[in-house]
Structure formats: C-alpha cells, structure tokens
Amino acid sequence: MEGLTEGRIVHYVAYNNRHLASIIIGLNPGAEAEMPVKTDLAVFTSMRNIAGTRNGGLQFHFDIPYNDGKTPGTWHWIERT
C-alpha cells in the first residue's frame, strides 16, 4: 500500500464508531491478498468518564487491518477536509 510506513497518522475506528487519531507503530505481513499488511497502532483517546471528567489516554492495538469502509476494529487514512 503506497505511503504506508511507521509514523503515519491514520484513524482507528472504535467499536462505538468513533474515529480516533492513531499513529502507525508497526507493519506486519498479512495472509490475505486484499489486506497485504496489518498494522500496529498507538491510538489516542479523549472521552469523559462516568463522573463527566474528561480523560485522555493512549491505547495500543496490534494486527489491525485496513478497511476503507470504516468498519469498527479497522483503520483508514484520515479523510481530507
């Protein structure tokens, strides 16, 4: 996939359908022809806890497939504005 390298910023689609800013931290060979590479991501979060206090965090997700259809649990290039 052209332009795919460590350090690129992408969106990870969370299971609540939020698109979270992420940095590619690793590339892994994939077994499927349509997804030649799965990525390891550092995912940045910013949400409110049960008390309403805003929390920021960093999560690590491994072997995440690319999906332009924006399916939860996948990543895609950030949309142009």
pLDDT tens per residue, the chain (81 residues)? 778 889 999 999 999 899 999 999 999 876 554 555 789 999 999 877 777 788 888 999 999 999 988 899 999 999 887
Q: 54-64 and 75-76: which strand pairing?
A: unpaired
Residue 1 lies in a domain: no
Residue 2 lies in a domain: no
Residue 70 lies in a domain: yes
| Rg of the chain on CA atoms, in Å | 13
pTM assigned to the model: 0.81
Alpha-carbon separation of residue 8 from 24, 31, 45, 55, 80 (angstroms): 6, 22, 17, 24, 15
The domain of 47 spans 9-76
CB 24 within 8 A of CB 38: no
Predicted local confidence at residue 32, as pLDDT: 52
Question: Structurally, how many domains does the chain consist of?
Answer: 1
